[in-house]
Structure 1
Amino acid sequence: MPPPHERGQPPSRRRMLALPAVCPCEAIAPAPLLASLLSLAADAAAGSRLGALPALRGAAREAVRIAGLLLAFLEAVRDAASDDGAPLPEAAVLGLSELHVALQKLRLLLADCGRKGARLWVLMNAETAASELRVVMGSVATAVEVLPEGVAAASDEARELAGMVSAHAWRAAARLRPDLEDGRAARGVRSVLARFAGGATPDAEDARHVLARVGAATWSGCAEEAAFLEAEMLERLETGGEDDNDLVLIAGLLAFLLYCRVVLFDRIDDSDNKAAAVARPAARCAAWINPEALQCPITLELMTDPVTVATGQTYDRASIKKWIKSGCRTCPVTGERLRSAELVPNAAARGIIEQLLLSRGVVPPHEPSGKHRCAVDRTASPFGAAAAGGARLAAAFLVARLSRGAPEQQRKASYEARKLSKRNVFYRACLVEAGAVPWLLHLLSSADATVQDNAVAGLLNLSKHPAGRAALVEAGGVGLIVDAVNVAGRVEARQNAAAVLFYLSSNPEYCEEISRIPEAIPTLVGLARDGAYRGRKNALVSLYGLLQCADAHGRAVSAGAVAALAGLLLGSAAVGGGGSEGDDLAVDAVALLARLAEQPAGARAVAASSELVTRLVDFLGESASRSAREHCASLLAALGRHGGDRVLALLGKLPALMPALYALIADGTPQAVRKARWLVNEIHQHYEQRHPPAAPPATGDHRIIRV
């Protein structure tokens, strides 16, 4: 069975300080090219966004000033052409095209330098950015000089402005450099990274000076910078072809920011900073948000990745994709035929959902793709000694706060541990090595629901690491996790606790320890029966893992697992509508029933419900998943093997069974084919040999087909 449900993928984006530009078509007319240039120059000359630049402040202001001169020159050329009524000469296309490419790069460069969240990265790449800026200024100067005389001197004003643009651009191309303060701040960062590499604690004042320079002197500012660097690293790992030196620098800067966030700030946010100002509207908005309006119409669960289809209706991406993939090309709400399968992200709905979750103290989920998970796996080793040293220092500090901190400090430390362990395997190892697991287990009994939620989520992340699972079991935490599934204060915490049991169940020894706890299996069965989708999913996969322990079968049957799974399977039939999450749970339910039926007690419990057996036959015929049909065939074969003649007689009376079995024999997997053939032959033998007809048929038209 698959691991707990994970979906989604962060969108790809242009890499920072990469300046792609499209050269205009050679056949383009000068007039539209000039109009496009005017738009580009106006955009570059709008320097209001440069007030918070972390680096290159003087150089960027000079570039903006030259862009303003260039805009004035282009406007003069346009006005002169309009007054004369004569079109621009075709010979102007070459120079204007070169100018167009240069302005595209200038606009991208200025946007990168002013990008919020990327300030530290820009500071450390100030020399590269300045070099690109000098090249762009040289290109602007050259392009203006090669313009035909009729364009450059279209009027006296144009001639004067052309000379000014050329002179100032050449001078900027020769002298633009990072500011002196940029160099001091960058050296301060390198000093901190050097101390990280040596395992020494850096000077807090050096770190504060750097944060003040880049405008990230608050916890939220550090978090924003760290989020950008983390996304930058994972994207480079996903796409491949990364520069090792860049990865070492990114990892070192990320460790620097995490250390600052953990050590320098006592609270997640102060009341007077920007993040708190954002949090207050988030809390206020929760009062007027109707959560039901944010539920996916298909699953009736809160959407995590809302997208809009051609009819204007919004659904969760995973749900509508399953709907479309199942062959339904109509809108589930309106019934209209979908003209296109395109799914447009609904950013407004996503923002409202994130605010709603934050107002409830829940971190909005980041649901990675397969490539993203591979990228996370590649962070098992640190990129450089500085990243390793900084992560170890931050982890040690967090564990000290978890163990000896005041309640407010423990609350912050639990949140930091949750974030630190989320998308970096090495950080998980550092936290386990520092002894975070026993203290997170201790916080499961906290009266603060937020602390409890953070502790469970942190343990879930650490349980993905082999050393984390071992530390959790050695600390006697299995029983505490089971209790959290049952009595945790928040639904998300109970769901995450069930997922911890799934990761523990990957080890047979841990399975036995979990199954020996009397409440473990009944608790998971109860969550599978009564929980929300994610809780049910996690409970099902956890139970599936536990059933590799033979003793767990009897406990699961006694706990009512068959009835709970039958409810999921029969419920999916009652709801109908392919592509829903109910179908996903039904597939997992069949797989789990198949594993239960491997033992006689489980098979008898399943066969006791003729309604369930009938539904299994229908499921075999209607399921589009080959694995689901294989599980179903294994389950029916186990019923026939352990249930004897009574079950075979029941199966033989179901008209939908034989066509489904023959279809599976035609295109199923080798294992499924073997099960289907055995079941067909057993049913035939039951009616032929063990229970022959009272009288032979009148004609020889009826024959038994052996398979």
Structure 2
Amino acid sequence: MSSPPPSKPKRRRLLSLPAVYPCEDITPAPLFASLLSLAADVAGRRVADADAFPILRRGVRRVVRIAGILLAFLEELHDATTSSIPASAVLALTELHVAMQKLRFLLTDVSRRGARLWVLVNAAAVASELRLVLGSFAAALDAMPSSVVEAASVETRELARLASEQAWRAAVRPDAADDRAARSVRSIVEQFRDHGGVAPDSDDVRRVLRRVRVGSWSDCSEEIAFLESELQNRLDAGDENSSDVVVINTLIAFMVYCRVVLFDHIDANKSQSSPATAPAAKCPDWIRPDALQCPITLDIMTDPVTVSTGQTYDRASITRWMKAGCRTCPVTGERLLTGDVVPNAALRGIVERMLLSNGVTLPDSTRHGAAANANASASAAACGAARLAVAHVVAQLSRGSTEERRKATAEARKLSKHSAFYRGCLVAANAVPWLLCLLSSTDAAVQDNAVASLLNLSKLPDGRAAIAEVGGVGLVVDVINVGVKPEARQNAAAILFYLSSSAQSAEEIGRIPEAIPTLVQLIRDGAYRGRKNGMVSLYGLLQCGANHGRAVAAGAVSALAAVMSSAGEHHRDDLAGDSVALLARIAEQPSGALAVLSQPGLVARLAEALAAAPSSSRSAKDHGVSLLASLCRHGGGKVVAMLGRMPLLMSSLYSLVADGSPQTSKKARALLNEIHRHYEMVPPPPTAPAPAASASSDGGDRVVRVL
């Protein structure tokens, strides 16, 4: 039995101090050596650099100075003690060691980039922790055995006394500038809460940003990413109703407002610690990169789960799919027997190893879909800040300059991906018509961001309705044809998938003359992702019976046959499975079945694919059997006889009866019985009776009915 995969270590929550006590039987020598190393690390902090410690600068300077005195005392004690340090000093050294660990944690947190705003609003609590640590220093020094101190030099004893006195007397508190900045934050938050439609004074906001050394768009994004990770830590711990969650949500909305409103351009000089902005991670040679993408969002699956059909999705996206009332598998179209999902630990481990090998940490904000659902409406202040930011984006989309529109589309893309709340705000602020207008932009970045934003907004029912109401479907179809970047064309095809969420909308899309032919052309000539999106969208459109004939007329059957022929050569066997699913849907109508039968060699390839399908590909087998059954139903006895003459197919059907899923087994049994009935009803040839031994060659005596 294989051991379970190791659990992912949780990131330490900021300002938590998980110091580890040395073991009880530790000897003084290693403990003293470790303490020296800790003291040297703390005393060596660059407190003179204002950017390193913008908050609590005076208090941190005092603490580091006391740590320097303590380090000098320890070094003198080490030099003065020719023999080993007595065991009686272990208790005092242990307390010093624990206090020094806590101090290192605190200084690391205070100086951490991206956490400046959170440290500012918690400055009083941080100062209190620093005072407690200094008190621990002094108590440990006072508890040092007198025999140890007196055995040292006079200078050593003086250093011990000085360190103890300085630690006891140090008055560590937030600087006056810290207090003013914190009051400004509270005042701005109150304006967001009480006057959600009125923007705060920009000078007040910039004063806060200067204090926390946030001077660019990327600095704001860094602060937001940190706050989201802190929020997720609390959600994971079950603290959804804590005051911290409300405060963090409000600060996230505040920083989003600052990023959107105060900075005119997006600086690309500073990298972000997230898969979206970090260098592309290289996938191991033994796994396909596309296998790590969620079929719904096409993003890397950071929390992959498997549904009852055997398909794997990111937990957040499939949860949203099912909450929207959809009870079918997005890829296969099969009805989901249950809403339960099973975590795919193996795939998650692959994603984590791939990202970590490239220096990227898997973001906690995506786990269990909680960050996607972390609603900015947790407080009225967050709502006010979010609506002001969205209103600014929409204003720039509608009447901004070229550069302003470029930034606005990038912001719309980030906000629409952030959460359902921001998507709702964008739709309510009438962003959809302006994004649709920008689909015709010749600026590749603007068009790509506009398409991606519309893709995120189309996940909401109101977003889909807004696109349809202003006639945006035709514009989306045009992008599939003439998009500047391949990514824009692929995302535009994915929009059609969401727009075809009901039979009525699928019919309306199908009536657009270019819609289905455009998807067929993408399936025929597109790259892998484009083909995948084109197939998924066409499958959604085929839930309307009127679109079957349009798909056949557009050459969908020949395009899917070509995909099946080339899938194995390019290691895209999943495309072949998608092609079979689409052909099965097309063949439900007589015209579609006849088109499949008229395609040279296609039925033989279908039989081979059914026989070669891996045991885990339940949906591929089910669609394959359904397709063959439709061909028999609409093609008549000639097709049935042709299938009966394929030994490999017959043996595959018998295997599926015994080992297939209940649904596949039932369909395979029905198909076998139909083939058997056909051969039983075939009249004997008019020639002389053949010997008994040759009767099996006609198929009459070899038939065994499956019950």
TM-score by length of 2: 0.81
1:96 aligns with 2:86: no
The one-letter amino acid paired with 2:176 is L
Q: Is residue 2:172 matched to residue 1:180?
A: no
The partner residue of 1:647 within 627, 639, 642 is: 639
Partner of 1:71: 71
Q: What residue is the counterpart of 1:117 in the other structure? A: 114
1:289-688 correspondence runs (5 A): 344-345=353-354, 372=367, 374-380=369-375, 382-575=377-570, 582-609=572-599, 611-621=601-611, 622-623=613-614, 624-688=616-680
Provide the C-alpha distance between the structure 2 equivalents of 1:586 and 1:350, rounded to a whole number of angstroms.
Answer: 35
Give yes or no for contact 1:54–1:120 (8 Å, CA) kept in 2. Answer: no
Task: Supply the distance in 2 between the matched residues of 1:155 and 1:368 (Cα, whole angstroms).
Answer: 51
Counterpart of 1:184 in structure 2: which amino acid?
Answer: R
Q: 1:155 to 1:491 in 2, by over 3 A?
A: same
- Superposition deviation, residue 420 in structure 1: 1.4
C-alpha separation in 2, matches of 1:630 and 1:474: 38
1:332 aligns with: none
Q: Report the AA paired with residue 520 of structure 1.
A: A
**Aligned pair in 2 of structure 1 residues 635, 23: CA closer, same or farther (>3 Å)?**
farther
SS at match of 1:47: coil
Equivalent of 2:254, from 223, 234, 256? 256
Instruction: Report the Cα offset of residue 661 of structure 1.
Output: 2.7
Q: 2:658 is paired with a residue of what secondary structure? A: helix
Encode CA deviations 1:243-264: one digit per residue, 9 max, x unaligned.
5311211121122122222222
CA distance 1:585–1:342, shift in 2 (3 Å): closer
SS in 1 for 2:378: coil
Alignment of 1:9-88 (within 5 A): 13-48=11-46, 51-52=50-51, 53-81=53-81, 84=82, 86-88=83-85
Q: Distance in 1 between matches of 2:218 and 2:351?
A: 35
Contact residue 294 and residue 302 of structure 1 kept, 8 A: no
Using the aligned pairs only, state the percent identity: 56
How many angstroms does 1:459 deviate by?
1.0
Q: Name the aligned partner's letter for residue 181 of structure 1.
A: A
Q: Please state how far the C-alpha of 1:276 moved relative to its aligned partner.
A: 5.0
**Cα distance between partner residues in 2 of 1:648 and 1:123:** 76
Deviations 1:81-120 (A, max 9, x none): 4xx2x32333433333332222222112111111111111
Residue of structure 2 equivalent to 1:211 = 209
Distance in 2 (CA, whole Å) between partners of 1:375 and 1:417 is: 21
| Separation (CA, whole Å) in 1 of partners of 2:595 and 2:501 | 26
Change in CA separation of 1:464 and 1:89 when aligned onto 2, cut-off 3 Å: same
Is the contact between residue 437 and residue 471 of structure 1 (CA under 8 Å) also seen in structure 2? yes
1:357 alignment counterpart:
none
- The answer to whether structure 1 residue 107 and structure 2 residue 97 are counterparts is no
Report the equivalent of 1:144: 141
Q: What displacement does 1:692 show?
A: 6.1
Partner Cα separation in structure 1 for residue 231 and residue 569 of structure 2:
46
Q: Is the 8 A contact 1:77 1:154 kept in 2?
A: no
RMSD: 3.5
The match for 1:337 is: none
Distance 1:371 1:294, change over 3 A: closer
Deviation readout 1:510-539 (Å, 9 max, x if unpaired): 211211111111111111222222222211
User: For residue 296 of structure 2, what is the aligned residue in structure 1?
Assistant: none
Structure 1 residue 479: Cα displacement: 0.3
Task: Please tell me whether the aligned partners of residues 376 and 382 of structure 2 are also in contact (alpha carbons under 8 angstroms).
Answer: no
Report if aligned partners of 1:77, 1:158 keep a CA contact under 8 Å in 2. Answer: yes
The letter of the residue matching 1:265 is F
State how many pairs are aligned.
632
Q: What's the CA shift string for 1:389-416, capped at 9, x where partnerless?
A: 1111111122122111222222221221
- Which residue of 1 is the match for residue 185 of structure 2? 189
Q: 1:498 to 1:703 in 2, by over 3 A?
A: closer
Q: Report the more deviating stretch, 653-662 or 39-48.
A: 653-662
Task: Note if contact 2:586-2:593 (Cα within 8 Å) is conserved in structure 1.
Answer: yes
State the Cα deviation string for residues 582-639 of structure 1 (Å, max 9, x = none): 1232222222222122222222222334633333333334322222322222222222
**TM-score relative to the length of structure 1:** 0.81
Q: CA deviation at 1:341?
A: 8.3
Moved more, 607-616 or 99-108: 607-616
Q: CA deviation at 1:655?
A: 3.0
SS in 1 for 2:413: helix
Q: Which runs of 5+ in 2 are unaligned?
A: 1-6, 273-278, 294-299, 312-348
What is the letter of the counterpart of residue 140 of structure 2?
A
Q: In the aligned structure 1, how far is the partner of 2:705 from the partner of 2:76?
A: 91
Q: Distance in 1 between matches of 2:94 and 2:603?
A: 72
* Separation (CA, whole Å) in 2 of partners of 1:154 and 1:294: 60
Cα 1:114/1:691, change in 2 over 3 Å: farther
Aligned counterparts of 2:10 and 2:574: Cα–Cα separation in 1: 28
SS of equivalent residue, structure 2 residue 569: helix
Change in CA separation of 1:661 and 1:101 when aligned onto 2, cut-off 3 Å: farther
**Cα offset, 1:192, TM superposition:** 0.8
What whole-Å deviation, never above 9, does each CA across 1:643-677 have from its counterpart, x for those lacking one?
A: 33233233223333234333333343322221111
Aligned to 2:239: 241
Amino acid aligned to 1:588: D
In the alignment, the residues of structure 1 paired with residue 378 and residue 255 of structure 2 have an alpha-carbon distance, to the nearest angstrom, of 15
Q: Give yes or no for contact 1:414–1:458 (8 Å, CA) kept in 2.
A: yes
Name the aligned partner's letter for residue 517 of structure 1: I
Supply the AA of the counterpart residue of 1:526: Q
SS at 2:512 equivalent: coil
